[in-house]
Amino acid sequence: MSESRSIVSPDAARYSKKHALSTRQIDITYIPVDSFTELTTQPGNFVLAAISYGAKSLEAKNAKFPIFQVEIEQIGERPVIEVWSSSSQACYGTHNGISYSQDGEFLVGSISTLETSSSKLETITKKAYEIITKFVMSRGYNHLLRVWNYFPSINVEENGLERYKTFCTGRAVAFRSKYIKDKQQHFPAASAVGTKGNYLTICFIASKTPGLNIENPRQISAYNYPPKYGAQSPSFSRASYHTSFHEDRLFIAGTASIVGHETKHVRNFEKQLGETLNNISTLLKHAKKIGCTGFGSPSSLSLAKIYIRDKRNVDFAHSILGKFFGLKVKTIFLQADICRRDLLLEVECIGIK
């Protein structure tokens, strides 16, 4: 396969613990909404941010840390909050519309922007990415490890172009000018998901020390997709691995039923799910081969998030994923549109060891 040379990012061989001596740890977990108030008042718990999924915004009196609101519904009876916390005290703030916190190794943030008649999706995407990349670099957190992108009507065509493709253009242009070119950084692992809300919301995790990008041998790197998926190919990597003194973490990007660059099993949820899980297994094997220890199997991961286009498939997905991940991986389901019209689901994972 002609891509095989680009699968291992060039610094894989050089990437080792020696280059990442930070002692900071990040924890990411899902907790029931009911436990949230306790968390905000617990001493010694250094919350970086909480992510609330759904239309209703979260009440968090006394919370100093930012709450990122994502406008997609959870499926299931027991809604959870996603909590990002640190092993050390963080400081919080806002800058140019970004709510952020930083702990000396990680800077996490979120920005939400509304489209207007004069500032359409491509413009606001480009602007949001320019603000983010400029901000993280100005603070010395030069490496975007993981980014989540949420915006409405992702599959709707506007002026002859699907909005996901328009989004890809805004993102690519911003990355080219301010991030990749100046600093030679890699693309972060990402997810791009449709909402029924109003905002373009981008959440991110950046670090002071670099991560290692991992591509998937079964898939063409998204940044090398042919132009039929958009004039500007999607600026993300399949996974990023980041290590520090006490801890390793693996962020797996939104993964779907794509082999090479093509969608497989159109209109067949069961097969798309199987292909997606095959992609995740293959990525984990490949990651292990290039030296990312600790995440050799799906059950060694910590969290999984499943975006499902049609809620009726959730019970089936739940049973298959239970077998795939085992009982220890915390899993949540969200109802959302996926960035290609023919994709019925997307799965993203986080491993922390």
Per CB under 6 A, residues contacting ligand 3EB are 149, 190-192, 222, 234, 236, 253-254, 256, 258, 339, 346
CB contact at 8 A, 191 and 349: no
Specify the residue, 191 or 272, whose C-beta has the smaller distance to ligand 3EB.
Answer: 191
Paired residues of 46 in beta bridges:
86
Shortest CA distance to 143 belongs to which of 177, 176, 107, 174?
A: 107
3-state secondary structure of 318: helix
Minimum distance between the CB of residue 150 and ligand 3EB, rounded to whole angstroms? 11
Specify the residue, 283 or 292, whose C-beta has the smaller distance to ligand 3EB.
Answer: 283
Q: What is the 3-state secondary structure (H, E, C) of 210-250?
A: CCEEECCCCECCHHHCCHHHCCCCCCCECEEEEECCCCEEE
Cα–Cα–Cα angle for 3, 242, 86, rounded to 5 degrees = 150
Minimum distance between the CB of residue 131 and ligand 3EB, rounded to whole angstroms? 18
Beta strands at 199-207 and 143-152: parallel, antiparallel or unpaired: antiparallel
Specify the residue, 211 or 247, whose C-beta has the smaller distance to ligand 3EB.
Answer: 211
Minimum distance between the CB of residue 195 and ligand 3EB, rounded to whole angstroms? 14
Paired residues of 80 in beta bridges:
32
Specify the residue, 149 or 166, whose C-beta has the smaller distance to ligand 3EB.
Answer: 149
Minimum distance between the CB of residue 345 and ligand 3EB, rounded to whole angstroms? 10
Minimum distance between the CB of residue 164 and ligand 3EB, rounded to whole angstroms? 7
Residue nearest to ligand 3EB (CB): 254
Minimum distance between the CB of residue 261 and ligand 3EB, rounded to whole angstroms? 8
Sign of CA dihedral 144, 97, 70, 195: negative
Specify the residue, 24 or 171, whose C-beta has the smaller distance to ligand 3EB.
Answer: 171
Specify the residue, 66 or 234, whose C-beta has the smaller distance to ligand 3EB.
Answer: 234
